[in-house]
Amino acid sequence: MKLIINTDGLSKGNPGTAAIGATIKDERGTMLATISQRIGTTTNNVAEYKALIAALQKAKKMGGTIVEIRADSELMIWQLSGRYKIKSEALKPLYIEAT
């Protein structure tokens, strides 16, 4: 089953109070699930990765076999696509978990 995931993470301050959000839809655009939660104090980049990881975990539980990911974090997208190296030690384990 193909699922479309939209994710976002944010922090008020960097680092600061952070939250994540995501939606999971089917190919027709029907909303299947949402994620919205506070994650404590962290950076915006960590929050972006944590939003993606939470959505991927939920999609897997829902039986998703193919996922299309949509996110606004250039850093995360380019790291996942191999265009950027992961220099931050805090992001390396999140990158591994997301892949």
Chain segment 16-29, per-residue pLDDT in tens: 999 999 999 999 99
Give the neighbor-by-neighbor strand order of the sheet with 16-26.
31-42, 16-26, 2-13, 66-71
Residues of the chain with pLDDT under 50: none
| pLDDT in the model for residue 36 | 98
| pLDDT in the model for residue 41 | 98
Separation CA 48–CA 61 (nearest Å): 20
| pLDDT in the model for residue 42 | 97
